[in-house]
Amino acid sequence: MSTSGDTATTTLTRPAARQRATSDIELRHLTRSFGEIRAVDDVSFTVTAGQLTGFVGGNGAGKTTTMRMLMGVLSPTAGEVLWGGRPITALDRRRFGYMPEERGLYPKQGVLDQLVYLGRLRGLSASAARSSVTTHLERLGLAERAKDHVEKLSLGNQQRVQIIAALMGEPRALVLDEPFSGLDPAAVDNMADLLREHTAHGVPVLFSSHQLDLVERLCERLVVLATGRVVAAGTPDELRATSVSRHRLVLSGDAGWVRGITGVHAVDVDGHTALIEVVEPGAGRALLEEALRRGEVHEFSPQRPSLAQIYREVTA
Ligand SMILES: Nc1ncnc2c1ncn2[C@@H]1O[C@H](COP(=O)(O)OP(=O)(O)OP(=O)(O)O)[C@@H](O)[C@H]1O
């Protein structure tokens, strides 16, 4: 729904100079083998500009290997990465913010000096690096620790420094391997706000996480990986639509009998309450009729599936 009026408003509230030359990142048929192990197997998905994409999957699913290939740290056995519709280059990646799994800070260097140095490596001028680092240190509650050696910081604070290393400057894209791990709730909120500011500038953000509640809360899209393959991808609502529908049934009497109804899977039965999945068309209606025949029905309501439920279904 883009009208000239909308465009005018956007221009006023978000100066054109702050818009970055961003684009979608497309992963196409990425595959990586280590000897006999196919760690990543024909993985294709798009990290859309201006959106947060959550990358989830169990230990060893292949998330880190995929992100390493995206960033050019590891070469693919097959497949390619596109940026703006053409094969990505080292120069493109230099403008990306990347938080690798191996954190790699120098323990004996001061926080500020180290971050400015890393900013310089990313092509920022000394003053731009210093200004961006100082702002981020304040935003993440580390201003007082700017002169401390990294080794003096707690693990959570080292993680914050690592986050700043990825976010400083004006990255064109963000690729973050477990950025939320080890952060306290306040830092998680700060980090989420920061990521939102980047997506508001059109930046595509891909981050891996084991915290499904967080992914559900933050992401516009998610990609689920299992044993090296994409087993689900889309918006949370798209994934919900493919999920088995669940209902909560609350009766006046004991609900144990629901276990015997054909076409219904009783996920959980506890006294008067049952959580059921309708696995055959029409079985929900038959269940409800039986329930009404037996007594009062206090509740029969569809349950919105959580991401955790969807995750269990697609990785089962
Ligand atoms: N350098 C390597 N040499 C051999 N095998 C590797 C190498 N890197 C990764 N693997 C294997 O590839 C598979 C995928 O690992 P990867 O680290 O990408 O998974 P992940 O989804 O990031 O897991 P986690 O959530 O535990 O970090 C695993 O079986 C792992 O042992």
pLDDT at 81: 98
Q: Which fold has domain 6-235?
A: Rossmann fold (3.40.50)
246 CA → ligand 1 middle, Å: 34
Residue owning the nearest CA to atom 16 of ligand 1: 62
Query: For ligand 1, is residue 62 a contact (CB within 6 Å)?
Result: yes
pLDDT at 18: 53
Nearest atom in ligand 1 to 62's CA: 18
Query: In terms of DSSP bridges, do strands 297-303 and 37-47 run parallel, antiparallel, or are they unpaired?
Result: unpaired
Nearest atom in ligand 1 to 66's CA: 18
Residue owning the nearest CA to atom 25 of ligand 1: 59
pLDDT at 12: 40
Nearest atom in ligand 1 to 225's CA: 21
**Scanning the structure block, which residue is given the tokens 């279904």?**
313
Q: Kindly give the confidence (pLDDT) of every residue in the chain, 316 residues in length, as a single tens digit, with 9 standing for 90 and above.
A: 333 444 433 334 444 445 678 899 999 999 999 999 999 999 999 999 999 999 999 999 999 999 999 999 999 999 999 999 999 999 999 999 999 988 778 889 999 999 999 999 888 899 999 999 999 999 999 999 999 999 999 989 999 999 999 999 889 999 999 999 989 998 899 999 999 999 999 999 999 998 888 898 899 999 999 999 999 999 988 888 877 778 999 999 999 999 999 999 999 999 999 999 888 888 888 899 999 999 999 999 988 888 888 888 888 7
SS (H, E, C) the chain: CCCHHHHHHHHHHCCHHHCCCCCCEEEEEEEEEECCEEEEEEEEEEECCCCEEEEECCCCCCHHHHHHHHCCCCCCCEEEEEECCEECCHHHHHCEEEECCCCCCCCCCEHHHHHHHHHHHCCCCHHHHHHHHHHHHHHCCCHHHCCCEHHHCCHHHHHHHHHHHHHCCCCCEEEECCCCCCCCHHHHHHHHHHHHHHHHCCCCEEEECCCHHHHHHHCCEEEEEECCEEEEEECHHHHHHCCCCEEEEEECCCCHHHHHCCCEEEEEEECCEEEEEECCCCHHHHHHHHHHHHCCEEEEEEECCCHHHHHHHHHC
Q: Residue ranges per domain, the chain?
A: 6-235, 243-315
Looking at this protein, which amino acid is placed at residue 15?
P
Assembly ipTM: 0.97
Q: Which fold has domain 243-315?
A: Alpha-Beta Plaits (3.30.70)
